[in-house]
A and B are shown apart, each in its own frame.
Chain A
Amino acid sequence: MATEAEPRTPRAGRAAIGRPHLRVDRWWLGPAVTAAGLLAFVVYSTWRAFANADYYAAPYVSPFYSPCLAENCVDMQNGPNVALFGDWWGLSPALIFLALPLGFRLTCYYYRKAYYRSFWASPPACAVAEPHRSYSGETRFPLILNNSHRYFFYAASVIAVILTYDTLLTFRDSDYEWGHMGLGTLLFLLNIVLVWAYTLSCHSCRHIMGGRLKSFSRNPVRYRLWTWVSRLNSRHMALAWASLLSLAASDLYVYLLATDVFSDPRLF
């Protein structure tokens, strides 16, 4: 035993535990609920985006169709019609612009966690073995593109401005008279608050506001902004879900009005 110079323990082996995990709690519940929620949204939004119909019920425009950039858009008085794309565009006009908010959410640090865990099982839950043989993270195409999050953030901010404009337009009645509000207005208000909160609570925003600075004390205004965004940022996940829901709900509301399922209860 003591003859060799340094009989160190063999280092190769991890403990022979065999099972992929030993968790006894319902670790699968989280990813399952996330997957179900995201899937439901994907199915709903795909249907609505391709539908190319029932997205406008004066004064409300579905957030999925704003801005509307093709000739084939429904005419919305003072609405977000900008026919940048000519009449050659035959598909649903929603498909032109939806790529940007979609990209923003796809590259969002929270949604990345959500889909890596619940769709790609990488990992399915903490300390639960993932099924893949190899792993390269976000070092290669296409996942390396997730690093472009901040450009989508810029784009998403522009969209949020447009949606804000749309929300302003809801202070009209169906005859485009200003100074009115309906139930839809409240829904749109809630939606725009959540969309802004989600957009501004983004990690890229936090970085741009002040996170990239080395010295806060020399940049007191940006430090204040950073502190404020940081506070929002700690609720990024909740805001991601809430704004997703409110977007779908706003769209659904417009759909129901446009298909005459019911009419918008007017407040005044």
Chain B
Amino acid sequence: MSTVERQSWDVVIVGAGGAGLRAAIEARELGLRTAVVCKSLFGKAHTVMAEGGIAAAMGNVNSGDGWQVHFRDTLRGGKFLNHWRMAELHAQEAPDRVWELETWGALFDRTADGRISQRNFGGHEYPRLAHVGDRTGLELIRTLQQRIVALQQEDKRETGDYESRLKVFQECTVTRVLKADGAGSADPVAGVFCYRRESGTFFVIDAPAVVLATGGIGKSFKVTSNSWEYTGDGHALALLAGAPLVNMEFVQFHPTGMVWPPSVKGILVTESVRGDGGVLRNSEGRRFMFDYIPDVFRAQYASDEAEADGWYDDPDNNRRPPELLPRDEVARAINAEVKAGRGSPHGGVFLDISSRLPAAEIVRRLPSMHHQFKQLADVDITAEPMEVGPTCHYVMGGVDVDPDTAAATGVPGLFAAGEVAGGMHGSNRLGGNSLSDLLVFGRRAGLHAARYAAALAGPDRPAAGPAQIDTAADEAVRPFQPPRTEAGGEAAEEPEKPENPYAVHQDLQQVMNDLVGIIRREPEMSRALTHLAELRRRAARAGVEGHRQYNPGWHLALDLRNMLLVSECVALAARERTESRGGHTRDDHPGMDRTWRRVNLLCRLREPGTDEDAEDAEQTEHAGQVRLERRALPAIRADLLALFDDEELAKYLTDEEVKDR
């Protein structure tokens, strides 16, 4: 098995969504040979599903906007759990990242004076989202894709080969980050182990710098807006390579997903519907969001319908409609309405744009929503309300990274950007901040990965030994020869049938949905952890039929490892955090606790056999694959804190923090 094909590149990017492609462009522009590995076809990444827009304080529509205001909104949205430095960089650099897209051919919707138009969105004080109708993600991915093609054309002119300096390995999956053979978890990265989905063949890319840009984890939940790719690969790869994850308890449930028909349950209904005037009503016809404005936001949101409706035309003299509260608030409100028996026939609430805008305007502003409902649900959104409910959408948690360089904590050569990285969004992400996050930190990850790789010339480059590669290969073919009995068990009389990976996946989705979903309770999460242990046992016996050529059953069996690892982190961290904040709502601890604000939960792979590990397992009564660590959140820089008034700060910060400033 040790004759696996190997190729050498300078920087490897795992994932070809917005962050991955932006990183690849940066690394290639700095002259490094860059490889992109992605599970789907080039240009199909989950980024295409982003609808609303890219948040960037360009001030094209309202000149009052600026990076400080954007920063403030981001921190409010994340309930002050964001890493302040990431939020600062993000708000400062987002406009440049948007403008540069135009130089690569992007065509955003325009203002009357020819600048990029910006739209309103939940949690953003000013119209801030650069957009193209409701298909902004597609525009973003296509622009980056075409920029990559342009760079390849340059390379072709210079070297005669399109792929001499920038190559996309499409429909390939990374199963392991390889490290230099050394002493322990702090060894530097040496490359990645991959298989081609199409042929099932293995290959290794030797490279000193690896950028994870794999997106999120939504496929561990049953009702989700995420595509099949979202199996938490990057999260798991980082854990397995020795890097910790941060904030994993924070999972965003988008308030508006489709609820009917069952087969499309979870598909996203863009927040732009509300940004453009759509309102939420319960079965009694009441605009219930007025009943759910939390104290911390009361100053910024309208208290009655007249004021809310006035805001669209006169935002300076009216406060925002509560439909545009941050997503966590709206999702919880919808959940509560449905629970109280005031839901729509299929278990959601009504989202109505038809009575708010003329039909032609709806079709112009929200073409794909119109198309999606017409096509999939036989609903004409220009004439009748939609039925919507919360759907798992985004994970705020992710690889713990250095804010400036996107380098993963503790593993030299490993970088992470986009949804797979944690910290930027705190406990809840604002709509539109995802696409800007991809661009800002995708570029930074590419930049610093390139610098890191450039510093490691020839002989200094770390290399992975053959043993590591053999182990990775063995792990990858295991589903074709699943162990017949439980490890350590006696040989059974009748060999157990191999598990169906599809069945294991479905059960996992059910467990996460029901027990670690939008509203959480301690006993349920403990039960979830027990279930996860059982699912892990079953996944180890997952077997597949057929051969390695484009075999989806096999691919799923391999993805199960990642989903289970990540799910365990989510459940464990969620059980630990005994407060409600942003995307983490505890029924048994409903309030936000200011002392918890200073705490980040880090999730690490356990290293069985060490004393530390045994102690931890005993203390937490948890003997899974991962363990938790608490870490203090760094204090926000004083000039940034000064952007908020004391009254507001007092709601989030502890008394001594307020005193210290």
Contacts and interface: CB of A to CB of B under 8 A. Distances in A.
Interface stretch (B197-205, B459-467, B492-500, B587-595): B197-205
A252 B106 CA distance: 56
B359 interface: no
A231 to B, nearest CB: 14
A9 B5 contact: no
A101 to B, nearest CB: 38
Contact of B199 (A3, A5, A8): A8
A8 B1 CA distance: 18
B199 A9 contact: yes
A2 B4 contact: yes
Contacts of B3: 2-3
A5 B199 CA distance: 13
A5 B549 CA distance: 16
B84 to A, nearest CB: 43
Interface in B1-59: 1, 3-5
Contacts of A9: 198-199, 549
Central interface residue in B3, B198, B201, by most chain A CB within 10 Å: B201
A7 interface: yes
Nearest to A8: B199
Nearest to A9: B199
The residue in A2, A5, A7, A8 that gathers the most chain B C-beta atoms within 10 A of its C-beta is A2
B76 to A, nearest CB: 39
A88 B162 CA distance: 68
Interface in B181-231: 198-199, 201-202
Q: Is the interface of B mostly helix, strand, loop or mixed?
A: loop
Contacts, number: 16
Nearest to B201: A7
A25 interface: no
B549 A2 contact: no
Contacts of B201: 2, 6-7
Nearest to B550: A9
Contacts of A2: 1, 3-4, 201-202
Interface string A1-27: 011011111000000000000000000
* A-side interface size class: under 10
A2 B200 CA distance: 10
A interface secondary structure, majority: loop
A15 to B, nearest CB: 13
Looking at B1, B199, B202, the one whose CB has the most chain A CB atoms below 10 A away is B199
Contacts of B199: 7-9
A5 B201 CA distance: 10
B294 to A, nearest CB: 46
Contact of A5 (B1, B5, B198): B5
Contacts of A6: 5, 201
Nearest to A5: B5
Nearest to B547: A1
B196 to A, nearest CB: 8
Contacts of A7: 199, 201
A203 B549 CA distance: 48
Contacts of B198: 8-9
A5 B203 CA distance: 9
A16 B4 CA distance: 32
Interface in A118-156: none
A5 B204 CA distance: 12
Interface in B623-641: none
B364 to A, nearest CB: 15
Contacts of A5: 5
A3 B549 CA distance: 16
Contacts of B202: 2
A2 B201 CA distance: 7
A9 B549 CA distance: 9
A198 B198 CA distance: 51
Interface in A142-193: none
A173 B594 CA distance: 96
A220 to B, nearest CB: 14
Contacts of B4: 2
A214 to B, nearest CB: 14
A3 B3 CA distance: 7
B112 to A, nearest CB: 11
A8 B197 CA distance: 11
A60 B106 CA distance: 58
Best-buried of B3, B4, B549 by chain A (most CB within 10 Å): B3
A226 to B, nearest CB: 19
Interface in A1-59: 2-3, 5-9
Interface string A98-131: 0000000000000000000000000000000000
B383 to A, nearest CB: 23
Nearest to B198: A9
A6 B201 CA distance: 8
A6 B202 CA distance: 9
Nearest to A2: B3
B579 to A, nearest CB: 52
Q: What are the 9 closest A-B residue pairs judged by CB atoms, nearest first?
A: A9-B199, A5-B5, A2-B3, A8-B199, A7-B201, A3-B3, A9-B198, A6-B5, A7-B199
Interface of B: 1, 3-5, 198-199, 201-202, 549
Interface of A: 2-3, 5-9
5 contacts: A2-B4, A3-B3, A6-B5, A6-B201, A7-B199
Given A8-B199, A9-B198, 14 more contacts: A2-B1, A2-B3, A2-B4, A2-B201, A2-B202, A3-B3, A5-B5, A6-B5, A6-B201, A7-B199, A7-B201, A8-B198, A9-B199, A9-B549
